[in-house]
Structure 1
């Protein structure tokens, strides 16, 4: 394509983010109350733009990882539950309460500190209780669950919004750990005071009715990552990434391209250099493996991805010239690029840098 309608001369790269597609993806997995996970700046796509769009569409439950992420969007989603997955850090009780943040409590110490703060201030405070059922990162372990089950009064002063757990391998439906976690979670909930449950993440929503709960927590599926690997992606693509061609040169047979001469032309070739590299989140592991597109025609990446530049073999595209734009994410979406990089769509999205002209559609 000869031009990008969203680009101008100051920006050699362009990242278009379709907030309507994010909303459509949320609506497509919505089954009753459905949260939106907007941690890591909405998976790298801009929480201050995406959270308000989801809120306007009716979402009333949001999750971030850190309190700073929550504070950045608190005023943009009035009246919504805004929960912090990584827990209640010591000394932040006043900040959480003052800004109506809901901590996800994953230790007895967090439970006790938050309950004490509620009692000291004479008002109930919202909380989510996290039970570990196999991830072994955050959440009450088996011994802490025993203590809390024997003394549920420790939750006094708290409004328990939900009890949750985190699925280990929900994108692999045949993995036995899914059913093990479901059974462990049900057993844990049966030993605690009654409270609504939150179980399924993006892929968990596709595991069947046994994994339904009172609040699902999709994240990656909202941003176009396939929650059903190996199957057609049920979600809409959200991002379009383009880079301007800076230069096209003829490279004779036998000449190499890029750092350390890792690619050598086996025929007279035309090489296009574009202004995107690993400083932009176009990962170095894409070297020799990625494919870009010009008017839907694939062109292979050759040589190593460097900090600011990447090179593509455009010998089969005679009309391509400096000033044209390559689509860096092709028809397979972010998952196809992730496969070329040997990673997942989560890392691709969250790695996207700040040197793109960002356009929200």
Structure 2
């Protein structure tokens, strides 16, 4: 018999966001929905422990969660909105196949991205509720501490409740205001999965982007967001085949998904042809410039990052701009730009790896050695740490050779 706890964990990893979105759309309350799903999970462990997990766990869990939400609503003083929620839950709970109810995640993302919430809170809340990322994972994605991020998520939920915000798609007139945050959330879901080699998260982000494109088929930023993710997803098999991250120009192109790259290029060209540039189009163009047949177009990449920095003046974008500038032969100028980012990126591993590389290029070996040591300490996997350690060793070997070579 399959372990009930393992079966439940698998179901939640795959379907928690969808089930929670369905609950929230009906009860209009984050906490009530989360409590009902938790109650359903407890029931699942009890019932599945007796008879084994059902053949299709998701419909079972959806129906159980709807029933638990009904029980909680019946046990509380209700207003007209909760009475309507009870009726809707009862109808959906009695459906022949609860798994066939519409996917509400995109609707929920727009609610989480409401302008009444601060931008970082919009992203964090959506990642927590829709995609079930832990608070620690979200904090890492935002370069924040876990307690601070936990407080941010709690405040966002409280603000939605206090403002009595509806869990609906915005009116057409409000879409431009909300779209940028929604795309940022979807892309952050993807990058979190991409960084962690979490295929499920990456595929979910692409699915959500396709849903959004269905709603806005001619929006250039939506097209570019999907293109950007497809460029990266197409190279997933070649990115770290042995655990060590490999840059696009050094990857085995036979491992790339040609169909996804073709689709991404088609989407990007369609977006650019509309002459309405935005940050997602710039990021997608940068990704395209990295995978040219011969080699990356570094002057073009540097120019694109410079423009992106005007639209998104963040430390990470500034770091990428500096790296691209160094690749054009301007290492000294790039190093000056990196030094200005020391404080905001003090715990960001790619910053220290890039700093070490540029310090080595400018022959500042002692500082490069220290930067490599810091980058190694912050590396997320042993393969990347070993790669950086080899570079640090080569740096020491180069120093030793320079000391014994007589001057001419």
Pick the TM interval, shorter chain.
under 0.3
Compare the two structures and name the one with the higher strand fraction: 1
Query: Which one scores higher on RCO, CA 8 angstroms, separation ≥ 6?
Result: 1
TM-score (norm 1): 0.26
Greater fraction helix: 2
